[in-house]
Amino acid sequence: MKIVHAASEMFPYVKTGGLADVCGSLFKSLAGVGHEVSFFLPGYRKIIESKEFESAKLKVVLQVELGEQFLRGEVWAISLGKRQTLYIIRRDEYFDRSNLYGTRERDYDDNDARFIYFSKAVVQAMRLLDIKADILHCHDWQTGLLPLFLRMAEQETGMTLALKTFFSIHNLAFQGLYPRSSFKLTNLPEEFNAIDGLEFYEQISMIKGGIFFADKIMTVSPNYAREILTPRFGCGLEGALKVREEDLVGIANGIDTEVWNPRKDPYLLNHYGANDLSGKALCQEALLNKVGLKKGEGPVYGLVARLTEQKGVDLLLKRMNFFVKNDCRIVLLGKGDPTYEKALRRWAKSHPEHVAVCIVLDEEMSHLVEAGSDYFIMPSVFEPCGLNQMYSQRYGTLPLVSGVGGLKDTVVDIVSDPKEGTGIVFEPNEEAYAQALEDSLSLYNDQKAFLHAIKRAMKRDFSWKRVTAEYEALYQDCV
């Protein structure tokens, strides 16, 4: 098949979170099984200044209608190997910036214009480059309007640009909400600025465009697909999603098993596998040395996350005393809400023998935390899929996760299923989290059962090969 993807980020070129990892892996995997895959990204400064861009070729010049203006743009192409092309939409006024979406304090004021422009540019590029796709697959709110723009362009030109459109919701909490006045930038007929279109409580919702106008709606785990149909997880869009329930499908993400492989991880000085865990013990020693901790009586816990309410940091803070009381060690890596950063720093300062906090985003360090911890904590309030719980199992680090979204789909609870369990799953409340911590201590003290659980976890298949087969089947059913 000829498959086109469009998103606001893709690993290894630009990344702020899991969206980039998923897009990069899916792109590579689909090409690897024989499909012709193209990927459209905005021309961010980081991409334009990268070594990869040196081989880029200018393909076409665009004139994109945005409200009352026609704005110039360029499409550059980078060949990434057999059947893989990366297209860069370049308009420096919009994308030549130090960050993707804004500063730490606030989003860029013109993100509505930036990503409406990007979506329109992708459609125009497909037309000018004569890319007749079987599938156009768009990701998150930044490309939410793309399926609608594509169908409108097809009506105007009489050309078929894509047989079917897919829209993936990676996190429904981020919806691309903008003032109603932003609708004029779309140049769409006024009929689309209504409750059964883009209108959302006197605003426009870009994610709603994807929900209503794509042929198929995807989420990144089966459980999350069910959850977002409810008021608890639907973020106000459960009604719109209910309308499209028959076209809503959840496929759990995979992980890049070449990047995340404890047998040959370039970020680790010591490698290991399920049959020889001696290297893992050395990784733990290296982790503790790096953050200035010494091994205690209890296990080592790790956490790598954006420090936000979604990630359950409130829950974490309420039970920090557990690690001190039981002579455990906890290493936390991440950035986010300054309030959470300060609270965690206070714990590290008052309990320097038990708590280490690294307020930084660091790819190398995140691999070391995964390899060097005994347990990995993910107390998320909601989690569309999550990747770290899968990285953890591959690295023999048992995850403690709240039973939401993809966490529930990808971790087998050892408390309820001691023979097959690969982690501990708990309800996202303080009492259940406290019990999960106690259960983790009990399991750790039974070293035989603990080692069996580690080996089971490491043998699970989270590869994109499995996931790609599911996407392939779904694509083929649609075309």
pLDDT per position as a tens digit, 294-310 = 999 999 999 999 999 99
Is a pLDDT exceeding 90 seen at residue 121? yes
* Distances from the Cα of 364 to the Cα of 91, 355, 358, 393, angstroms: 32, 20, 13, 18
The fraction of the chain above a pLDDT of 90, given in percent, is 95
pLDDT per position as a tens digit, 351-376 = 999 999 999 989 899 999 999 999 99
Same fold? 2-254+464-478, 278-458: yes
The letter for the amino acid at 319 is R
> Average per-residue pLDDT in the chain?
96
Is a pLDDT exceeding 80 seen at residue 254? yes
Q: Which band of pLDDT confidence, cut at 50, 70 and 90, is reported for residue 133? A: very high
Annotated binding residue at 459?
A: no
- Cα(217)–Cα(228) distance, integer angstroms: 12
- Region 415-427 average pLDDT: 96
Report helix, strand or coil for 398.
Answer: strand
Task: Please tell me the predicted confidence (pLDDT) of residue 270.
Answer: 96
CATH of 2-254+464-478, one of 3.40.50.2000, 3.90.870.10, 3.90.1010.10, 3.40.630.10: 3.40.50.2000
Question: Buried (b) or exposed (e) across 176-202, using 16+ Cβ within 10 A?
Answer: bbbeeebbebbebeeebeeeebbbbee
For the entire predicted model, the pTM comes to 0.91
Task: Please tell me the predicted confidence (pLDDT) of residue 238.
Answer: 97
Q: Which band of pLDDT confidence, cut at 50, 70 and 90, is reported for residue 75? A: very high
Domain ranges of the chain: 2-254+464-478, 278-458
Task: Please tell me the predicted confidence (pLDDT) of residue 263.
Answer: 97
The fraction of the chain above a pLDDT of 70, given in percent, is 100
Task: Please tell me the predicted confidence (pLDDT) of residue 40.
Answer: 98
Which has the closest alpha carbon to 135: 461, 308, 146, 124? 146
Report helix, strand or coil for 38.
Answer: strand
Is a pLDDT exceeding 80 seen at residue 104? no
At the top level of CATH, the class of 278-458 is alpha beta
131 CB neighbour count, 10 Å cutoff: 19
389-393 long-range contacts, CB within 8 A, separation 24+: 389/423, 390/253, 390/254, 390/255, 390/462, 391/255, 391/260, 392/423, 392/457, 393/422, 393/423, 393/457, 393/458, 393/460, 393/462
